[in-house]
Amino acid sequence: MNINIIDLGLVYDIHIDKALKIAAISMTLSTPACPMGNIITNHAKVAVEDELDGYAAEVELVWQPRWSYDNISAEGRVALGL
């Protein structure tokens, strides 16, 4: 099963600053103790920098609002069999 962090509802906001060439990503994890947290945030950074040539990505983990299953998109629910 593959599901992306957008469909999981982990990404809350992406702000692109064209002048500074920075992509700022506000995201969360399902829990602060998520064992995959470092991998998920590092991959998000790399994916954005690969897509936006010359941009630096900054990932900020936020905990409000708290993530819940309600954040999962319709596509994500199908992928998860919910």
Return the domain boundaries, the chain: 11-69
Task: Kindly report the average pLDDT of the chain as a whole number.
Answer: 95
| Residue 1 scores a pLDDT above 80 | no
DSSP 8-class letter at 47:
H
Question: Residues 35-71: pLDDT tens digits?
Answer: 999 999 999 999 999 999 999 999 999 999 999 999 9
CB 82 within 8 A of CB 72: yes
Go through the chain and tell me how many residues it has.
82
- Residues ≥6 apart with Cβ < 8 Å to 38: none
Which CATH number applies to 11-69? 3.30.300.130
Judging by beta carbons within 10 Å of its beta carbon (0-12, 13-18, 19+), is residue 32 exposed, middle or buried?
Answer: exposed
